[in-house]
Amino acid sequence: MKKHWIAAAFVACLLLTGCGAAEHTEDETTGSAVQANTEQPVSKEIFAMDTYMTITAYGENGQKAVDAAQQEIERLDALLSTGSADSEISALNASGTAQLSSDSAELVSCALEINESTGGAFDITVYPLMQAWGFTDESYRVPSDSELTTLMETIGSDQLDWDADNRTLTLGDGQAIDLGGIAKGYTSGRIMELFDECGVESGMVSLGGNVHVHGAKPDGSKWRIGIQDPENSEDIAGVLEVTDCAVITSGGYERYFEQDGTTYHHIIDPSTGKPADNGLTSVTIVSADGTLADGLSTALFVMGVDQATEYWRQHADEFDAVMITEDGTIFVTEGIADVFSSDRTFETIARK
């Protein structure tokens, strides 16, 4: 299952330019030469977790940090991918019960917390639905209502038996889980920790358009992150200027198929078993916590703008959001309204 490569490559380009890193080198062999100038980034592009990724780090330990980040991405991909039969999550789905590694355990704990707080809009038990709609192997199809009704009996995190002390997860009958809604946010968060451990003060990753920035740019200015226009992959809807945070977008345009004139995308509403259809075309979450940002980008997309607004008002200290609706209206929560800019007018959501 591949994302839209061209769109992903475009976003990566845009971000590098936006970050003033146009002079980066992709040639590992020149990495040591680059390290001599602390203003020059070390940057690497890889393909993992079904998407294009760019890792960029500044400073004398830039190369070390970028290499460590790549290793971490590959380690987590092998652990979490439902696409590879020998991953820990695939083994769990096959056997129905498993004692999990500390990474998977942390992800499951976070997923259950987000499930609870979002009233079930985020739910890792959607995997059988992802399979039925063909998103797991590109065998796209529209399941019949009766097939969905039967499958819906297996949907619900309340059927999972999670023993956090022993890190043991047992699935209910017919259940399977998919950490795809939070895996990249968790990974980018881990990379920020590795940047810290390597003594890198300035760096960023873009994991298929999911961006996480560390510190500020080397000149002390903020990172500029473009938010893709959901209607046009070659345009941006706005720019955020931020430091030290994850900026993670979920949109129906990222992965979809068309049948009989209808578009079906990969973000499933766990209450209907069908692609979420609540009026949003993209949701971007800004938060210091990458895992939370990733989970909430999916959850708020499922909720729709009214419910998402209510949710934000109750959790405004944890994150901010940019939401774009089908009619092109851009909503920006108050906490980031002064660091968001757009050619278009946008509406600010007040805390109230």
Stretch that binds ligand ADP, among 143-151, 216-224, 297-305, 323-331 (CB under 6 A): 297-305
Residues 6 or more apart in contact with residue 29 via CB below 8 angstroms: none
Per CB under 5 A, does 287 bind Mg ion? no
Per CB under 6 A, does 176 bind ligand ADP? no
Per CB under 6 A, does 291 bind ligand ADP? no
Total length of the chain:
352
Smallest gap from Cβ 64 to ligand ADP, in A, equals 28
Smallest gap from Cβ 210 to ligand ADP, in A, equals 6
| Binding letters toward Mg ion, positions 251-280, x by CB under 5 A | ------------------------------
H or E segment to which residue 294 belongs: helix 290-303
Binder of Mg ion out of 63, 81, 157, 297 (CB under 5 A): 297
**Choosing among Mg ion, ligand ADP, none, which partner's interface includes residue 103 (Cβ < 5 to 8 Å by kind)?**
none
Alpha helices in 118-182 (DSSP H): 127-132, 145-152
Per CB under 5 A, does 189 bind Mg ion? no
Residue nearest to ligand ADP (CB): 180
Binder of ligand ADP out of 12, 89, 126, 200 (CB under 6 A): 126
Instruction: Return the number of the residue (61 or 81) whose C-beta is nearest ligand ADP.
Output: 81
Q: Are strands 210-214 and 168-170 parallel, antiparallel or unpaired?
A: unpaired
**Choosing among ligand ADP, Mg ion, none, which partner's interface includes residue 238 (Cβ < 5 to 8 Å by kind)?**
none
Binder of ligand ADP out of 67, 77, 103, 123 (CB under 6 A): 123
DSSP 344: S
Question: What residues pair up with 349 in beta bridges, in sequence order?
Answer: 333
269, 276 contact by CB (below 8 A) = yes
Q: Are strands 245-251 and 347-349 parallel, antiparallel or unpaired?
A: unpaired
Per CB under 6 A, does 230 bind ligand ADP? no
Per CB under 5 A, does 178 bind Mg ion? no
CA distance 298 to 292: 10
Q: How many residues bind Mg ion (CB under 5 A)?
A: 5
DSSP 234: E
CA distance 274 to 254: 16
**178-212 in b/e burial notation, b at 16+ Cβ within 10 A?**
bbbbbbbbbbbbbbbebbeebebbbbbbbbbbbbb
312-341 residues near ligand ADP, rule: CB under 6 A? none
Per CB under 6 A, does 180 bind ligand ADP? yes
Instruction: Return the number of the residue (216 or 236) whose C-beta is nearest ligand ADP.
Output: 236
Q: What is the DSSP string of 35-89?
A: HTSTTSEEEEEEEETTEEEEEEEESTTHHHHHHHHHHHHHHHHHHH-SSSTTSHH
Residues near Mg ion, by CB under 5 A: 181, 250, 294, 297-298
